[in-house]
Structure 1
Amino acid sequence: MRRRQASLGDRRALEFRAFVAGAAGRLLHTATLLTAETPDDNPRARRLLTYALAHTYACWDRLRGEDPYDRARQFLATRFAREAWHHHGGALARFRPGPGTVLAALGPQERLILVLRLFEGVAEEQTAALLGLPRERVRTVCDRATATLLHPPRTPAPAAAKTVPS
């Protein structure tokens, strides 16, 4: 019996390592897009990835035909939303990261929906169910975020230094 449990544990570890080798890069890219920071140094994205992979490993035996990538992505998205909501005064739409990427102009909810819909290719209905939002709200937020990226708000030009003739 002990030998059988050891072989099941070894198989589980090998399967999970293969999953991580194939999916970790894309999941890290998704986390980087969500946090809207530069890819070079993004500890928040790495932390989100670590949590998502740990959660996926913990429920590995219970997946039973479910795609582990979908489970990890779902956990990544909900963890990001929860952190943005709780750590920033309960206002998911008000938190903004420092300037880093083009997505920094968007709020967390807009980034989350845009990344899920356009980068990850999650259907509108699935995104709505995952986030607990009406489908129309997901469509509206995605359209607004796309418009913001395509037509960013104009910033005033820096004032030219005046030179005094001598």
Structure 2
Amino acid sequence: MRSRQASQGVRRAREFEAFVAGAAGRLLHAATLLTAEAPDDNPRARRLLTLSLGHTYACWDRLRGEDPYNRTRQYLATRFARTAWHQYGAFGRGRPHPGAALAGLGPQERLILVLRLYEGVAEEQTAALLGLPPDRVRAICDRATTNLLHPPPERPRRAFGAKVAHP
């Protein structure tokens, strides 16, 4: 009995290692796009990936034919969505890296754009995953794409309390 459990544990570990070897690079890139960090300096993306892979490993035996990549991507996306407020919201931590590809977009726009365009997830699946209507997902994706292709001009910054002269 013990040798059978041990061999199952070894088999499980090998299967998971093979999965990670094939999928971790793409998932890390997706996480880096989500967090808008520099590709060579992405601690939040690495943490997000580690948590997602840990979750997948914990339920590896219960997948029963389910795609482990899809499960990991779903967890990565929902984990990012849940923590986006703390990382990018009112507390101001985790500002996007100015040179990141998606730095000009908000967290929700990045999430939808990465799922739809980078990962190729269908609009309906993205909407179901995020709990949004498909029309809203389409509108956010269209706006994010437009902002990437045609960024709005930056407004000049002024000192706090400075008055603006009107012509």
Same fold (TM over 0.5): yes
Give the Å deviation of 1:101.
1.3
CA distance in 2, matches of 1:88, 1:69: 26
SS in 1 for 2:115: helix
Match of 1:85 in 2: 85
CA distance in 1, matches of 2:89, 2:143: 23
Match of 1:163 in 2: none
Q: Kindly indicate whether the alpha-carbon contact (under 8 Å) linking 1:96 and 1:107 is maintained by their aligned counterparts in 2.
A: no
Q: Kindly indicate whether the alpha-carbon contact (under 8 Å) linking 2:34 and 2:107 is maintained by their aligned counterparts in 1.
A: yes
Match of 2:160 in 1: none
Match of 1:19 in 2: 19
CA distance in 2, matches of 1:152, 1:88: 20
CA distance in 1, matches of 2:132, 2:11: 38
CA distance in 1, matches of 2:78, 2:90: 15
Give the Å deviation of 1:18.
0.2
Alignment of 1:1-166 (within 5 A): 1-89=1-89, 97-155=96-154
Give the Å deviation of 1:151.
0.5
RMSD: 1.8
Residue identity in the other structure for 1:58: A
Q: Kindly indicate whether the alpha-carbon contact (under 8 Å) linking 1:124 and 1:139 is maintained by their aligned counterparts in 2.
A: yes
Q: Structure 1 residues 34, 87: CA separation in 2 closer, same or farther (over 3 Å shift)?
A: closer
Give the Å deviation of 1:98.
4.0
TM-score (ref. length: structure 2): 0.87
Give the Å deviation of 1:99.
1.4
Deviations 1:92-143 (A, max 9, x none): xxx8524131301000000000000000000000000000101000000000
Which structure 1 residue ranges, 5 or more long, are not aligned?
Answer: 158-166
Q: Structure 1 residues 141, 80: CA separation in 2 closer, same or farther (over 3 Å shift)?
A: same
Deviations 1:19-53 (A, max 9, x none): 00000000000000001111011100100010010
Q: Which runs of 4+ in 1 moved over 3 A?
A: 86-91
Q: Structure 1 residues 98, 131: CA separation in 2 closer, same or farther (over 3 Å shift)?
A: same
Which structure 2 residue ranges, 5 or more long, are not aligned?
Answer: 157-167
Q: Kindly indicate whether the alpha-carbon contact (under 8 Å) linking 1:96 and 1:108 is maintained by their aligned counterparts in 2.
A: no
SS in 1 for 2:6: helix
Q: How many residues align?
A: 154
Give the Å deviation of 1:14.
0.4
